[in-house]
Structures are given as structure tokens and as C-alpha cells.
Structure 1
Amino acid sequence: MNQHADTTTKTTPRELLQSIVSIPSVSGEERECAQRLCEYFAEHDREAWIDDVGNVRAPADDSVLLTSHVDTVPGEIPVRIEPAAEDDVPALWGRGSVDAKGPLVAMAVAAVSTGVSFVGVVGEEVDSRGARHLIENREEPGAVINGEPSGWDGVTLGYRGLLAGTYVATSESGHTSRPENNAIQDAMDWYQAVGDALAPDEWTPVFERVTTKPIAVEGGTTDDGLSVEATMDVQFRVPPAQTTEAIRELADAQLNGGTIHWYDDVPPVMTNPRTPVARAFRVAIREQGGEPRLLRKTGTSDMNLFADAWDCPMVTYGPGNSELDHTPTEHLPLESFDNAIAVLESVCTALISD
């Protein structure tokens, strides 16, 4: 009987990375990229599908859940492989190569090779709708490894929380020579008062501070000429030593006649470096010739939401330099990507056997 050899060629990890980075997936437009991930799992006889909100779901051994986000911020960077100016190491350039398609693809590859669960979530850059949906629609896994750039030899244990709102003030219109505040001044005074109340001393590390930041301001006389209105969108990054509830109360106490609508509230997180997950990473990084770095990030990630909902050990991990997030020079050294896959495979294997 004649037998024909299987000539099917499976996608290599680097090919998958370049393919995924080449597919634009700005928040809200992740579908094509999600489909490509499903195709990769199908190549390896793994079931995967796109759920109601657009997440890629590939359930398997739930001792470990590998999860990272499919979406990116806007910005076109020509996709190519070439060294960065500072070294001779080949790197993949492109929007999302660092944040967070490098971690995403490394996790997809490790999930296939070790047989653990995987989810590629959507909307992390805007409202984390994918992570929120996941929490509501699946059971708690044994452990979570969240994908964000930490460097292949770094493990992120903590993130600050996020509190975001819109301050609104209205005042009667009047001649600009009058000394009374108008709504624009009320908004400015409110922001200054909150900032003063939260001002740290100069020795406090950034991670341990509450950072205040206005992200949009509008104001002026209304169309009918009878009043002045002002709106200010603000964000507060909240360290684990404080709570978003306490910052909300402080900001509400300074309202100065205005009102504020709070539209996002994500608690801070700081995980224990002695969990089985963190230990497994330290061992795996050393096996690859690295010296483990334990990190705290000043931003916020989906791990904040997972930690608030699930009582299981977790960390955030992924190849890439987070200082390149959202920048026009975003690129990922391919050697770092390869190392991260090896580390993830070692960690998952160790956690499955425990």
C-alpha cells in the first residue's frame, strides 16, 4: 500500500509573530488578528474559537491560564526585521510588537507546546472588556500568567490601580473683569486642590505615589451666551498602599461646586514573590542564563482585574522593553522572543507537574 508523507508545514513561532504584528488590531478591530490565532491553534489540533466579545478562547489544562491582549493603540510602523541602532540583534519592528503581540504570540506558542489554557483578550487598551467578560464567564484557573512586556528576564508582580472621571462645572456668564470664578477656574482650582492634597514628598518612589493627570479639557461660553461650562477628564494612578475608594472620597471632598462622574475604577495589585508561579519563573529564567528581575509597574493592566476577581497565584510576563510601548520606535529583539517562549514552556511544565 502506498503511503503519502504529510507535507503540511506548520507555522514557526517567528513566522507567527511577524504575521500577527502585520495584521492591524487597534482596539475594536481585533477580529482578523483573532482569526489568525485560531488558525494557529487549529494547525496544532487545538480547539480555539472567538467568543461573544471577540476573545480568542483555547481551553486545555487549567493548571495555568496564559492570557495577553490582541489589541494595540493606533499608529502605523512599517513591519520589518532589522537591528535597532543601539545593537546588532535582529528585531521585529511594528505596532504591537512589544505591547503586547510579542507576549501574546509567545504565550500562544507555549500553550500549544505544553497543553495549558490560553485566552487572547480584546480591548485592554481602552476598557478591558475582554478581561471583564472572561472573569464573568469562566471559572478561576489554577494560576494566571498575564502577558505584557517585562523583558524576557523580568517578572512583574505589581501595578498601580486606575481611577478615572469627568469633572463638570457651570457658572453664569459675566464680564471677564469680574473677580468671581467662572466654571473654567472652578475646574482648574478643583484639580489643583486634589493634586495638592495628594502631593508626595520628593523621596517617594513613583510606584508608591498617587499620580494625577488631566487627559482632556474643554470649556467656554455656551452657545446662548448665558453661562460658562467646563469639563475635565482626569486619571489617578493609585499605589497598592492606597485604595481607589479613598482617592475618590478625597476628590469628591474638593468639588468646589462642580460634579464628577467616575467611569473607571481598577484596584491596584501587588502579588507575593514567593508563590509557586513566581518561583517557577525565577528558576526558568536562570535556566536560560538570565538573572531574574522582579518588577513593579506604574501603569495598570488586566492583571489588576484578574487579581481582584480570582484568588490564585499570578504574575505578568512577556518579552520586550516596556519603555517602547506606544512609541514610533516599537520593536522586539527576536532573541528575547525566543528566550521568553523557553521560559514560559519551562514555567508551565513545572506548574502542571506540581
Structure 2
Amino acid sequence: MSRRAEDLLTRMAGIPSVSGNEDALARFLVEEMREWGFETHLDEAGNAIGRRGDRDAPMVLLTGHMDTVPGGPAPRRDGDLLYGRGTVDAKGPLATMICAAASADVEGVQYVVAGVVEEETYGRGATHLAECFRPAAGFVGEPNGWAGVGIGYKGRIMLRYSVSRPSVHTASPEEKASEAAVAFWQDVVAYCTSVTTSEKAFDRPIATLNELSGDITSAQLVISVRTPPGFDLPAFEEYLTGVTRDGVLKIDDRTPGVRVDHRGAAVRALCAGIRARGARPTLKLKTGTADLNIVEPRWQVPMAVYGPGDSALDHTDDEHISLTEYRTAIEVLRDALNHLAGELRR
């Protein structure tokens, strides 16, 4: 299994799959998962779907994204390390799910593994998945380290702001477009500060100025706001309408933050698998956003986020994964699936 698992991830890492161009990897996975004992197909969104077990049995759904951001190191192996874009985020976690579900006990349960598209943009693959399946429990593949379990991810609001002003001399006291844009950004930051009730990064809204361009006649901003679970989006939008300064505001994304029950069956199953290998599980609250934010509110079932790799390497030129950690994660997740299946069969 270990050599075959390493070969799977190596081949996945060698197939480019930037968001919006996942088709080659999806078709590879449809063929490959069939060889691992799954019934497979491509769904309408372009997701690669594999299923093992009785279709009438309780379903455990494991979803990981196929897409990556551009760039990254060329795929190569250096001893125990496998380099390449997506080895950590998130082909490593997805390959872990395929291997674990292929080797887990399938009696009285069914496993569905989904390689989904466009997680790095607006979650089109996960949105389609949420509409088509109703699992009894689920896992989302993201890097948290083999002994880590993700239980929360912040939400995301994407703001696009543009403003124009008449051309004037730079010495004029009239407000310039560039000044109006800066003032709007400062208002967004001020609002986030005003509703902050905790110094913990997960529990407070954090605004980032992603893009800034313009001059005294026209200016544009792209702002992302990472929000904690329970953030009052309608109140934020109402506030924004009052500070646009005759600019045009477009909200591209309204993904809510989510935090799962750490006592739920999926988290407990992973923790048992980690402890069985002599480690103490670490429950993690992440400041990024994942497909968990899309599927968990829709399904409302026990869920957790799991996968090998160091998330600090996401999107970097040094992205790589330890194959030893990858193999250990497969064993942990396989045991977690067996543990969870036992609960679902009761």
C-alpha cells in the first residue's frame, strides 16, 4: 500500500490543476479510483466522484480539492520529501482520503470520495456537492499535520470598490478618488475593530487590502474580510452602504465562518486514530476559509477537517510534503473511518 500510495500522490502532483483547469486531474482520478475499487464518474461541476459500499448504507463523504493556485516548485522528490504545487494544498490530503477509503472496512457503510473543483476561488465544486449528497458524516481534506484536526474555519467576504472624482489640481482641497478609496478602506478597518470582542485571531474579523490601484480621478480596491462564526453580515453591509462616498461597491463572496462540535463523531474518530499512534491530537481553529464553510451549514452532520502537511507551506515556492507523514495520515484516517463506521452501524 505505501508504495502505491506514494505513486498516486506523485502522479497527482505531476498533473497541473490550477483553478478552472482541473479536468486532466479529474479524469485521471476517475480512472485511478476505479483501480482502487471505487465506482466512479465525473459530475456536472467537473468533480471526480468515487464510491465504495452499499448505496443504501449510511454515507461517509470525504471531500478534498483538486485545484491549486498557480506557480510553485517543479514536482520532484528529495529523499522523504515530495515537492510540487498542491502536495500540501491539497492533493496530499485528497490522496490520503482515496487511500484510506479504499482500505477501510466497508461493511454496513458507504464511502464517497470527491475531488472537487475551484476551492481556491469561490467553491463551485463544493457548492454542487452540498446540493447533491446527504451524508451521515463527513471529512474535508486540508493540511493540519497528521496529528491535527481542524474544527473551525473563518468566513470570507470579498469587497470590490471603485470610485471616481473630477479631475482637479493636486493642490485643490477637493477630495480625490485616491483619497476616497483610502477613506473607505479605513472605514472597513474601523468597523472590524469596533465589533472585535477577542484578541484571538479566529474570533475577530480581519480585513486585508488585496489590491489597490488608481489616481486622483479613479481608484479601485479589492478587500477581503475574514470573519468568525456568527459575524453579523447584514449589519456590516448596512454599515458599508453608508460609507461608500458615491463609489460603487460589489460584494463577490459571502461565505460564513464555521466551527464544528469538537465532541462530534468525526472529530472523536480522528482523535482515536491519532492517539493509537502515540500522539496527542491537536484541535485547530484556522484563520483561512475552506470547503467546510460551504458543506457543513448545508449538511449539519458530524464533520472534521484532516490531512497531512504544513499549511504554512500553502501557496509558497517551497511547497512540499513528508511522505512518512503522508503514510501515517492514511493509517490514521483509515482507522478513523473504521471507528466511525462502527458508530454508524449501531
Return the TM-score normalized by structure 2. 0.91
- Residues 238 and 244 of structure 1 are in contact (CA less than 8 Å); yes or no, is this contact kept in structure 2? no
Q: Secondary structure at the match of 1:351?
A: helix
Runs of 4+ in 1 over 4 A off after TM superposition: 200-203
Structure 1 unaligned runs (5+)? Answer: 1-8, 84-89, 222-227
- Counterpart among 191, 195, 205 of residue 185 in structure 2: 191
For residues 166 and 49 of structure 1, the distance between their equivalents in structure 2, rounded to whole angstroms, comes to 37
- Residues 148 and 317 of structure 1 are in contact (CA less than 8 Å); yes or no, is this contact kept in structure 2? yes
Larger mean CA deviation between 242-251 and 106-115 belongs to 242-251
Q: Give 1:250 deviation, angstroms.
A: 2.8
- Counterpart among 208, 214, 223 of residue 209 in structure 2: 214
The residue correspondences of 1:125-274 to structure 2 (distance < 5 A) are 125-136=120-131, 138-199=132-193, 204-220=199-215, 228-274=217-263
Deviations, residues 102-154 of structure 1 (Å, cap 9, x unaligned): 00100011121224111000100111110111122x13101110000000000
Q: Is 1:349 matched with 2:338?
A: yes
- Residues 2 and 327 of structure 2 are in contact (CA less than 8 Å); yes or no, is this contact kept in structure 1? no
- Counterpart among 86, 93, 99 of residue 83 in structure 2: 93
Q: Secondary structure at the match of 2:229?
A: coil
For residues 252 and 324 of structure 1, the distance between their equivalents in structure 2, rounded to whole angstroms, comes to 37
The residue correspondences of 1:43-54 to structure 2 (distance < 5 A) are 43-54=35-46
- Counterpart among 63, 73, 81 of residue 77 in structure 2: 81
- Residues 72 and 315 of structure 2 are in contact (CA less than 8 Å); yes or no, is this contact kept in structure 1? no
For residues 275 and 255 of structure 2, the distance between their equivalents in structure 1, rounded to whole angstroms, comes to 33
Q: Secondary structure at the match of 1:26?
A: coil
Aligned length, in residue pairs: 333
- Counterpart among 312, 317, 321 of residue 323 in structure 1: 312
Larger mean CA deviation between 115-124 and 32-41 belongs to 32-41
Do the aligned partners of residues 76 and 278 (structure 1) sit closer, same or farther apart at CA in structure 2, a change above 3 Å counting? Answer: closer
- Residues 100 and 147 of structure 1 are in contact (CA less than 8 Å); yes or no, is this contact kept in structure 2? yes
Partner of 2:61: 65
- Residues 88 and 311 of structure 2 are in contact (CA less than 8 Å); yes or no, is this contact kept in structure 1? yes
- Residues 10 and 43 of structure 1 are in contact (CA less than 8 Å); yes or no, is this contact kept in structure 2? no
Q: Secondary structure at the match of 2:165?
A: strand
- Residues 162 and 244 of structure 1 are in contact (CA less than 8 Å); yes or no, is this contact kept in structure 2? no
For residues 234 and 103 of structure 2, the distance between their equivalents in structure 1, rounded to whole angstroms, comes to 42
Deviations, residues 32-65 of structure 1 (Å, cap 9, x unaligned): 1112211222213321111122100113455310
Q: Cα RMSD between the aligned structures? A: 1.9
- Residues 63 and 352 of structure 1 are in contact (CA less than 8 Å); yes or no, is this contact kept in structure 2? no
Partner of 2:300: 311
For residues 197 and 170 of structure 2, the distance between their equivalents in structure 1, rounded to whole angstroms, comes to 38
Partner of 1:224: none
Q: Give 1:273 deviation, angstroms.
A: 0.6
- Residues 303 and 316 of structure 1 are in contact (CA less than 8 Å); yes or no, is this contact kept in structure 2? yes
Structure 2 unaligned runs (5+)? Answer: none
For residues 199 and 3 of structure 2, the distance between their equivalents in structure 1, rounded to whole angstroms, comes to 48
- Residues 157 and 227 of structure 2 are in contact (CA less than 8 Å); yes or no, is this contact kept in structure 1? yes
- Residues 72 and 319 of structure 2 are in contact (CA less than 8 Å); yes or no, is this contact kept in structure 1? no
Q: Aligned AA for 2:168?
A: G
Do the aligned partners of residues 168 and 57 (structure 1) sit closer, same or farther apart at CA in structure 2, a change above 3 Å counting? Answer: same
Do the aligned partners of residues 316 and 202 (structure 1) sit closer, same or farther apart at CA in structure 2, a change above 3 Å counting? Answer: same
For residues 46 and 12 of structure 1, the distance between their equivalents in structure 2, rounded to whole angstroms, comes to 16
Higher gyration radius (CA): 1
Deviations, residues 193-228 of structure 1 (Å, cap 9, x unaligned): 22123227797011122111111222236xxxxxx2
Partner of 2:26: 34
